[in-house]
A and B are shown apart, each in its own frame.
Chain A
Amino acid sequence: MIQVRNLIVEYPDGTKAVDSVGFSVGPGENVALIGANGAGKSSLVLALVGVLLPAQGEIHVGETVLHKKSLREIRSRVGLVFQNPDDQLFMPNIFEDVAFGPRSFGCDEEETTQRVRAALSKLGIEHLAERSPLKLSGGEKRLAAIATVLAMDPDYLLFDEPTAFLDPRARRNLIDILGELPQGKLIATHDLAFAGEMCSRVLLLERGEIVADAGIELLRDGVALERVGL
């Protein structure tokens, strides 16, 4: 289980991006993190894998507490899919990109190849293995970015605006694929329909604070949503 307690994340100028946040995500649970632009969704997600280090508070993944020395273990168990796949795909071809994680975490070549093939096959993109990221469509890039994380065999997946840059067909495809992944997921999005289809629980974020933690019926509460700018 991912457990977050009293988390505060600050920008260098001291502004609080995330303020006294606490929640948990259980194994296999799909949780939506919704909020308007600038609400702190991306900062919170980045803090969960230590890209932004907390100013205060604790993040637990299972028994492991996130701090500088445990970053490697945390990142092997929690995979983050970035909002812009171009940030995540930096190798000459997709195979090498998907292999980057397993190799960095010490897998030998045989296991790396096995994991890459499995991840690409799970997402139905084996045919992209030798292609350059520069030549892929938005939907293909998104799936390739997810494959880079799946190859690390994480227990939890974090998504930052996964439906950004996708056309309706690619979005539909993404919903089908994510629905079949067994990992626990925290999905930061302001695509409410997507959150409604994917998740069983919703965290509502406003100016860095969680103002509601409820079931998906929250997505039908027009007043609460409008109040936070959604």
Chain B
Amino acid sequence: MPDISARVRELRSLENLAAGQTVIHRLHPLAKLLSAFVFIVFVVSFGRYEFVGLVPYLFYPFVLMAMADLPYKVLLTRVLVAVPFCLFAGVSNVFFDTGAAFAVGGVAVSLGMLSLATILLKMYLTVMAALLLVATTPFTELTAQLRRLFVPVIFVMVFEMTFRYIGVLFEEVYSMMTAYRLRSGTGKALDMRHMGSFVGQLLLRGFDRAERVHGAMCCRGYSLKHSPPARHRFRGADVLALATVCLPVVGLRIVGVLL
């Protein structure tokens, strides 16, 4: 039970980090959104054997984390969640792509191992860029910028609702699990025999609760058609920050292609 409530708190901890007041937090959300987007696009554009070309891109997460005063451990634990998926996607390369890439101290490194390392580094950089964006920008401002960039409202709404309701769903799981364990006799995890009705009830309660939360949001002016007014003006410092990220990111890629 404490596990679930800890997850709820963890889920909201990134939002709490976004309330910081460092120079990165104070940048215009659009500058942060665009620089993260450019960074992710350029990282993804690297080929599967271009591990070395990606290494300089590590400057982005490390510099940003330091400047925004963010706890590395909190972000790293979230990055680790994506590791199994990348391993699943890349581990077969190790067995099937056996050509030699290079040797280190007499030990041959295969192309498959190189591509696995590239996948893992790409994952680290892209997930970290997304996490840094969320940890330095209030969620409502992020979605407001998405609307201003003409991202279809239906996508923004799904994004907003998922983010809001996942905590609500966790709270429901927590209270249902508490009630279940107190009466299950064993006090252990959910028995498979009860899984069907538990998940069914959770779905129904989740709908009900989501409807009430949505109602409360609408009563306070939430609507897909109306964006809240911009909270920041796009200043010279924002242009400078955007250029400081984009120029090296683009420059490094061009150098990589030329070499």
Contact with B along A118-154 (1 / 0, CB 8 A): 0000000000001010100000000000001100100
User: Could you tell me the distance in whole angstroms from the C-beta of B4 to the nearest C-beta in chain A?
Assistant: 12
Contact partners of A212 in chain B: CB under 8 A? none
Cβ of A103 and Cβ of B216 under 8 Å apart? no
Report the minimal beta-carbon distance from A25 to chain B, rounded to whole angstroms.
17
Q: Check: B217 CB closer than 8 A to any chain A CB.
A: yes
B212 touches A92 (CB 8 A): no
Interface contact A80-B219, CB-CB below 8 Å = yes
Report the count of interface residues on A (CB-CB < 8 A): 34
The contact string, 1 if C-beta is below 8 Å from chain A, for chain B 13-35, is 00110110000000000000000
Residues of chain A within 8 A (CB-CB) of B216 are 80, 82, 87-88, 90
Say yes or no for B50: interface residue by CB 8 A criterion: no
A109 vs B28: C-alpha distance when bound (angstroms): 14
Q: Say yes or no: is A76 at the interface (Cβ < 8 Å to chain B).
A: yes
B176 touches A (CB below 8 Å): no
Secondary structure dominating the interface of B: helix
Interface-forming stretch among B70-78, B91-99, B185-193, B224-232? Answer: B224-232
A226 lies within 8 A of chain B by Cβ = no
> Does B138 sit at the interface, judged by CB under 8 A?
yes
A109: B residues at CB distance < 8 A: 231
Instruction: Please report which residues of chain A, range 153-171, place their CB below 8 angstroms from some CB of chain B when the two chains form the complex.
Output: none
Q: Could you tell me if B215 and A104 are in contact, using CB atoms closer than 8 angstroms?
A: no
- Quick check: A134 and B8 within 8 Å, CB to CB? yes
Rounded to whole Å, the gap between the CB of A105 and the closest CB of chain B is 4
Closest to A76 in B: B221
Binary interface profile of A, 84-95, with partner B (CB < 8 Å = 1, else 0)? 101110101100
Interface residues of B in 139-180 (CB under 8 A from A): 140, 164, 167-168, 171
* B209 at the A interface (CB under 8 A): yes
Q: Closest chain A residue to B168 by CB distance?
A: A90
Q: Does A96 contact B (CB under 8 A)?
A: yes
Cβ contact of B221, chosen from A46, A75, A88, cutoff 8 A: A75
A92 to B141, CA, bound (A): 14
Q: How far is the CA of A108 from the CA of B15 in the complex (A)?
A: 21
Q: Is the CB of B164 within 8 A of A75?
A: no
Residues of B within 8 A of A72 (CB): 221, 223, 226
Cβ contact of A132, chosen from B16, B215, B218, cutoff 8 A = B16
Per the bound structure, the CA–CA distance linking A101 and B16 in Å amounts to 19
Interface 1/0 per residue, B220-256 and A, CB below 8 Å: 1111001011010000000000000000000000000
Give A100 to B143 CA distance when docked, in angstroms: 14
Interchain CB contact under 8 A, A46 and B215: yes
Nearest-Cβ distance from residue A208 to partner chain B, whole angstroms: 19
A181 CB–B CB distance under 8 Å: no
Contact B16 A87, beta carbon cutoff 8 Å:
no
Closest chain-A Cβ to B225's Cβ sits at a distance in Å of 9
Does A9 lie at the interface of the complex (its beta carbon under 8 Å from any beta carbon of B)? no
| B12 x A86 contact (CB < 8 A) | no
Residues on the B chain within 8 Å of A177, using CB: none
- A91 → B minimal CB distance (Å): 8
Whole-angstrom CA separation of A76 from B223 in the bound complex: 13
Residue in A71, A80, A92 whose beta carbon sits within 8 Å of that of B19 in the complex? A92
B229 touches A107 (CB 8 A): yes
Listed by A's residue number, 20 A-B pairs whose Cβ atoms lie within 8 Å are A51-B219, A72-B223, A76-B221, A80-B216, A82-B212, A92-B16, A92-B19, A101-B220, A103-B229, A103-B231, A104-B221, A104-B222, A106-B229, A108-B231, A132-B12, A132-B16, A134-B8, A148-B220, A149-B219, A152-B221
3 tightest Cβ-Cβ pairs between the two chains A and B: A104-B221, A101-B220, A92-B15
Which of B's residues lie within 8 Å of A, judged by CB?
8-9, 12, 15-16, 18-19, 138, 140, 164, 167-168, 171, 209, 212-213, 215-223, 226, 228-229, 231
A contact residues vs B (CB 8 Å cutoff): 46, 49-51, 71-72, 75-76, 79-80, 82, 84, 86-88, 90, 92-93, 96, 100-101, 103-109, 130, 132, 134, 148-149, 152
